C-alpha cells in the first residue's frame, strides 16, 4: 500500500506543500494518540474557559490547538496560522509561503462520550507583502485553497485530502505509525436518500428550509418521491466522511436563535475546506443561495449557512430557496 508521503511526493509538484501536509499528518497522529488514551491521559472534560467565539472550550480543543500551533510554526514554509481556538492569526515565519487554517478539534461535544471527532485544515497561499498575523492576508475565497482535508478520529484514524486533483484517503496503520492509501479518486453519488440536520432547531429555520425538510419527511408519497433516512453525528467531520463514502446531504442552515449570526459553522475552518473536498469529489456546496467557495470572507471567524453533499440534492435545496 502507498504511504502518504510517497503519494504526496509523486502526486504534488510543490514539495514545500508536501512538508506542510506531512507535518499535519504527523501532528494528528499525536492527537489520535491522546484521544485513544482518553481519561487515562486526563484529557477529557472542560478547559473551563471560552474561546473568542464565546464557546466553552474542552481540554482537548486546547491540547489539539497547541499541538498544531507548535508543530506548524516550526516549518519555515508556514507564514502564519489561524485557528478556531485562537482569537487572532499567529505569525510563524516571515519567509513562509503558506497560511494554514484549522479547526483543531471538530465535534467537541463528542469527546467525552467516546464518539468520532476530527481535525479540519485548509492551506492558502501567503501574500509576500503581508505578515502572518495580518488578518487581511487570510481573507481569501475558498477557490484559493491549495489543499484541504481532515483527519477523522473514529474506530480508525483516517486522513482525507485534496490538493486540487481528486480526493484520496489514508488510514493510519498504528502498528507501523504510517498512513497508507486506502481509497483514491473518491466520488460522491449525485443522488441520495440520506440527510443530516439538527432537527431540534426546526422551529428556528426559515420557511424555505422548513418546507424542504417537511417534504423529505413525507417520504415516497411526498413531492420528492423517496423515503429518506436521517443521521446526525454532531461532528461535521464525521457527517462529511459518511457523505464522501456513500452520499448524502449535510445542512447547518441559518436559524433565528441568534439572528445576527449567519450560521453556526465557520467559513474558514469548516465550510471552505469541506467544500473543496466535496467539489473535488463531484459533490456540491452552497449557502442555499450561492456557492460557499465564492464567498469573499470578511473576518477569519466568520460563520456561514451550509448545505453540502450529493449534487442533485443540493440543487433541490437551492430550488426551495428560490
Tell me which residues touch ligand AHG (CB under 6 A): 55, 84, 103, 106-109, 198, 234-236, 252, 264
Which CB atom, from 84 or from 134, has the smaller least distance to ligand AHG?
84
Which of the choices Mn ion, ligand AHG, none does residue 234 contact, using the CB cut-off of 5 to 8 A by kind?
A: ligand AHG
Work out which of 68, 102, 103, 161 binds Mn ion, going by CB under 5 A: 103
CB of 164 to ligand AHG, least distance (A): 24
Which of the choices ligand AHG, Mn ion, none does residue 162 contact, using the CB cut-off of 5 to 8 A by kind?
A: none
Which CB atom, from 69 or from 264, has the smaller least distance to ligand AHG?
264
Which of the choices ligand AHG, Mn ion, none does residue 194 contact, using the CB cut-off of 5 to 8 A by kind?
A: none
Which CB atom, from 118 or from 297, has the smaller least distance to ligand AHG?
118
For residue 276, what is its C-alpha cell? 473543496
CB of 236 to Mn ion, least distance (A): 6
Contacts with 91 (C-beta within 8 Å, 6 or more apart), sequence order:
79, 80, 131, 132, 133
Which of the choices ligand AHG, Mn ion, none does residue 277 contact, using the CB cut-off of 5 to 8 A by kind?
A: none
Which CB atom, from 90 or from 180, has the smaller least distance to Mn ion?
90
- Start-to-end CA span in the chain (Å): 47
Which of the choices Mn ion, ligand AHG, none does residue 292 contact, using the CB cut-off of 5 to 8 A by kind?
A: none
Which of the choices ligand AHG, Mn ion, none does residue 313 contact, using the CB cut-off of 5 to 8 A by kind?
A: none
| Residue 188 near residue 243 (C-beta atoms within 8 A) | yes
For the CA atoms of 46, 51, 54, 58, the dihedral, rounded to the nearest 10 degrees, stands at: -20
| Residue given cell 472534560 in the structure block | 45
- Using CB under 5 A as the binding rule, whether residue 106 contacts Mn ion is answered as yes
Q: In the beta sheet, which residues pair with residue 116?
A: none
CB of 225 to ligand AHG, least distance (A): 28
**CB environment 205-238: b (16+ within 10 A), e (fewer):** bbebbeebbebbeeeeeeebeeebeeeebbbbbb
Q: Where are the beta strands (DSSP E) in 29-177?
A: 46-50, 56-58, 78-83, 90-91, 98-106, 117-125, 147-153, 157-162, 168-173
| Residue 110 near residue 233 (C-beta atoms within 8 A) | yes
Q: In the beta sheet, which residues pair with residue 148?
A: 122, 162
- Using CB under 5 A as the binding rule, whether residue 255 contacts Mn ion is answered as no
Which CB atom, from 27 or from 93, has the smaller least distance to Mn ion?
27
Closest among 13, 285, 294, 318 to 146, alpha carbons compared:
13
Which CB atom, from 152 or from 167, has the smaller least distance to ligand AHG?
152
SS3 content of the chain, % helix, strand, coil (to 5): 40, 25, 35
**Interaction residues for Mn ion, span 32-91 (CB under 5 A):** 84
Which CB atom, from 8 or from 233, has the smaller least distance to ligand AHG?
233
Contacts with Mn ion, residue ranges (CB under 5 A)? 84, 103, 105-106
Amino acid at each position: 500500500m502507498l504511504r502518504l508521503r510517497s503519494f504526496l511526493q509523486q502526486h504534488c509538484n510543490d514539495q514545500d506543500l508536501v512538508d506542510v501536509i506531512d507535518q499535519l499528518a504527523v501532528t494528528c497522529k499525536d492527537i489520535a494518540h491522546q484521544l485513544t488514551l482518553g481519561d487515562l491521559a486526563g484529557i477529557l472534560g472542560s478547559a473551563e474557559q471560552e474561546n473568542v467565539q464565546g464557546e466553552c472550550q474542552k481540554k482537548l480543543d486546547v491540547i489539539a490547538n497547541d499541538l498544531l500551533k507548535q508543530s506548524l510554526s516550526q516549518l519555515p514554509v508556514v507564514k502564519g496560522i489561524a485557528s478556531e481556538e485562537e482569537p487572532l492569526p499567529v505569525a510563524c515565519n516571515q519567509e513562509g509561503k503558506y497560511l494554514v487554517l484549522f479547526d483543531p478539534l471538530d465535534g467537541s461535544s463528542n469527546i467525552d462520550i467516546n464518539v468520532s471527532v476530527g481535525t479540519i485544515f485548509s492551506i492558502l497561499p501567503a501574500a509576500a507583502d503581508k505578515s502572518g498575523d495580518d488578518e487581511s492576508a487570510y481573507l481569501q475565497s475558498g477557490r484559493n485553497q491549495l489543499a484541504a482535508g481532515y483527519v477523522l478520529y473514529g474506530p480508525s484514524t483516517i486522513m482525507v485530502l485534496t490538493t486540487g486533483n481528486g480526493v484520496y484517503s489514508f488510514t493510519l496503520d498504528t502498528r507501523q505509525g504510517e498512513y497508507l492509501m486506502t481509497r483514491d479518486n473518491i466520488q460522491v453519488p449525485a443522488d441520495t436518500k440520506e440527510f443530516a440536520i439538527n432537527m431540534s432547531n426546526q422551529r428556528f429555520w426559515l420557511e424555505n428550509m422548513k418546507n424542504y425538510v417537511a417534504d423529505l419527511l413525507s417520504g415516497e408519497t411526498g413531492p420528492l418521491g423517496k423515503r429518506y433516512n436521517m443521521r446526525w453525528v454532531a461532528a461535521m467531520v464525521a457527517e462529511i466522511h459518511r457523505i464522501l463514502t456513500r452520499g448524502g446531504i449535510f445542512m447547518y442552515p441559518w436559524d433565528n436563535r441568534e439572528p445576527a449570526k449567519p450560521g453556526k459553522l465557520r467559513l474558514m475552518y469548516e465550510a471552505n475546506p469541506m467544500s473543496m473536498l466535496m467539489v473535488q469529489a463531484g459533490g456540491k456546496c452552497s449557502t442555499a443561495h450561492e456557492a460557499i467557495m465564492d464567498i469573499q470572507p470578511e473576518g477569519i471567524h466568520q460563520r456561514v449557512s451550509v448545505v453540502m453533499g450529493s449534487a442533485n440534492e443540493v440543487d433541490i435545496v437551492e430550488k426551495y430557496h428560490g
